[in-house]
Amino acid sequence: MKMKLTTYICSLLFCCVAAPLLAQQNPTPAPAQTKSVLILNGIAHIGNGERIENSAIGFKDGKLTLVADARLIRLDMSAYDTIIYADSSHIYPGFIASNSTLGLLELDQVKPTNDEAETGTFKPSIRSAISYNTDSEIIPTVRSNGVLLGQITPRGGVISGTSSVMQFDAWNWEDALVKEDDGVHLNWPGVYHRHYDKGKIAIEKVKTYDQQLREIQLFFGEAKAYCHAGKQSQTDLRFAALCDVLSGNKTLYVHASDAKSMTEAINFKVEFNIPKMVIVGGYDAYLVSEQLVSHGISVMLERIHSLPRFNEDDVDLPYKLPKLLYDAGVKFCIQNEGDMERMGTRNLPFHAGTAVAYGLPYEEAVRALTLAPAQILGIDKDFGSLEVGKNARLFISKGDALDMRSNAVICAFIQGRQIDLSSKQTELYEKYKKKYDEQKK
């Protein structure tokens, strides 16, 4: 009989694996997986829309070797070094924070800690990966809620640069790389322009929009010519960084939110024959869903926990956007760009939870944080779902991880390595708890 409590097993494992606590230091990255692990009897959320109520999940050497219904298969328990009984706990593929600036900016108002945007307008060759700070004190607080991977994205300008996909347990950025330079980010110039006017926000049509569009067209036109010409005596780093976008080896992420901008971006995709385009933002995506579907464009949907844009909008419109996109057949994932962005990454699961509260089927909400972003980022061969052969990147939560009421991550694995879930914050908590406990004595 399974007598041991999940928490017990996990915290036991935790104790074995975790390095001794070093005050005010980030946890040590876990060593490579040497022992095989079997997780039994948990509710597995596969990431592809399926769910196994009583699952058996095994992994070895960082790869998933078994994902099955525990009631339907014969298990050779002896083949595993460690067995975790995850009775009625939930198992998820590691959540993915797409369009994230985690590791690029530590303390919003402290300028020296800010590396999220380079100066300039068109700068596709700017690479976020090299700036990603594995020692950010925010990262451990994000992992401990189940977010284990991120697309680290530069901001600013018209073309802000090239993002990379990083995992959240690493010694340095090279270590953290999952997919280097996955795509280039284009901030579509607003057809509307937001400004402050007598204490009010005003939005009006941008008078210089045509000019801005022309500059983008010219830049891509030149890049196309440059890439088409092949080897040249001189190298233009800016254009060279776009060749893979034009050839379809990299994705063009177009940050756009309103219907007009998205329609313009779709026209741009056709005009420049851009194979892979993803919309980042997409408040109005439900209004142009047919066009998005017919052009094969996915959406990295903007923050669910946000206010409706117009007073007349349904008060819950942002909450139900995932449901609207799901119904319209638009491929999408959920991201978290905005105010309190990096520290708020730990609340990413709850954005998906809200989507469920407002109509999105539960496993689709899980997909929007796992397989969907993996597919959009082009890393779904190894990531994004609990399927045999894929990277063993998963976590166990005592309860439903999309609900803050029950989200309690007790074990998390990246490449099969069990990571340390402590952080500077848990250390401070322990430190002061101890202080008050001693006062009581």
Partner 1 sequence: MIRKTLTAMLFIAIAGIFQAQPTYPYNGILPKSTTSVALIHGTIFIDDQTRIEDGTLILQDGKIISVGSKLPLPANAVVIDLQGKFVYPSFIELYSDYGITSTGGNTEKRNMHDAPSTGSSSDKGAFGWNPAIRSETNASTLFAPKEEQAKEFRNAGFGVVLTHRADGIARGTGALVCLNDNPNLAVIVPQSAAFYSFNKGSSSHTYPSSLMGSIALLRQTYYDADWYSKGGHKEERNLTLDAFSASKQLPSIFDAGDKWNVLRADKVGDEFGIQYVIKTSGNEYQRIHEIKTSNASLIVPLNFPDAYDVSDPYVTRLVSLEEMKHWELAPANCGMLAKEKINFAITSSGLQDKNAFLKNLRKAVKRGLTEQDALKALTTTPARLIRADKEIGRLQPGYWANFIITSKNIFEDDAIIHENWVQGKPYVIEQIKKKSIAGKYQLSWTDSKYDLTIVDEGGKNKANIRVIQTGKDKEGKDIQDTLNYSVSLTMMNEQMSMTFEAKDNQYKGMIRLAGDIEDDGKKWSGKGQLPDGRWIDWQSERTGEPEVRKSEPKTESTPQDNGEIIFPFTAYGSKTQPEQETVWIQNATIWTCDAAGKIENGQILISDGKIIAVGKTIDASKYTQVKIIDAKGKHVTPGIIDEHSHIALESVNEGAQASSAEVEESRVIDPEDINIYRQLSGGVTSAQLLHGSANPIGGQSAIIKLRWGKAADDMLMKGAPGFIKFALGENVKQSNWWNDGSRFPQSRMGVEQIYYDHFIRAREYGANKVAFTNTGKRGAMPTKPFRTDIEMEALYEILQKKRFVTCHSYVQSEINMLMHVADSMRFTLNTFTHILEGYKVADKMKAHGAGASSFSDWWAYKYEVKDAIPHNGALLWEQGITVAFNSDDAEMARRLNQEAAKAVKYGGVPEEEALKFVTINPARLLHIDKMTGSLAQGKDADLVIWSDHPLSIYARAEKTFVDGICYYDAVKDEEMRKAIEAERARLIQKMMLSKQSGDPTQTPMFRDKKHFHCDTMDQTSMGISFK
- How far apart are CB 249 and partner 1 at their closest, in Å? 34
Based on CB atoms, which residue is closest to partner 1, 147 or 402? 402
As a whole number of angstroms, the distance between CA 98 and CA 163 comes to 10
Query: If you write DSSP's letter for every residue of 190-248 in order, what string do you get?
Result: PSEEEEEETTEEEEEE-TTHHHHHHHHHHHHHHHHHHHHT-S-SS--HHHHHHHHHHHT
- How far apart are CB 287 and partner 1 at their closest, in Å? 8
Based on CB atoms, which residue is closest to partner 1, 183 or 318? 318
Q: At 409, which amino acid appears?
A: V
Question: Please, what is the angle between helix 348-357 and helix 317-328, to 10°?
Answer: 70
As a whole number of angstroms, the distance between CA 232 and CA 225 comes to 11
Based on CB atoms, which residue is closest to partner 1, 169 or 400? 400
- How far apart are CB 19 and partner 1 at their closest, in Å? 21
Residues that bind partner 1 (CB under 8 A): 106-110, 137-138, 192, 194-197, 199-205, 258-260, 284, 287, 305-308, 310-312, 314-316, 339-340, 342-343, 346-347, 350, 353-354, 356-358, 402-408, 425-426, 428-429, 432-433, 436, 439
As a whole number of angstroms, the distance between CA 391 and CA 370 comes to 13
Based on CB atoms, which residue is closest to partner 1, 168 or 358? 358
- How far apart are CB 202 and partner 1 at their closest, in Å? 5
As a whole number of angstroms, the distance between CA 236 and CA 177 comes to 26
Based on CB atoms, which residue is closest to partner 1, 316 or 327? 316
- How far apart are CB 146 and partner 1 at their closest, in Å? 12
Coil/strand/helix, residue 11: helix
As a whole number of angstroms, the distance between CA 29 and CA 126 comes to 27
As a whole number of angstroms, the distance between CA 162 and CA 325 comes to 27
Based on CB atoms, which residue is closest to partner 1, 277 or 317? 317
Based on CB atoms, which residue is closest to partner 1, 194 or 214? 194
As a whole number of angstroms, the distance between CA 429 and CA 202 comes to 44
Instruction: List b or e across 65-82, with b for residues whose CB sees 16 or more CB atoms inside 10 angstroms.
Output: bbbbebeeeeeeeeebee
- How far apart are CB 326 and partner 1 at their closest, in Å? 17
- How far apart are CB 351 and partner 1 at their closest, in Å? 9
As a whole number of angstroms, the distance between CA 245 and CA 183 comes to 7
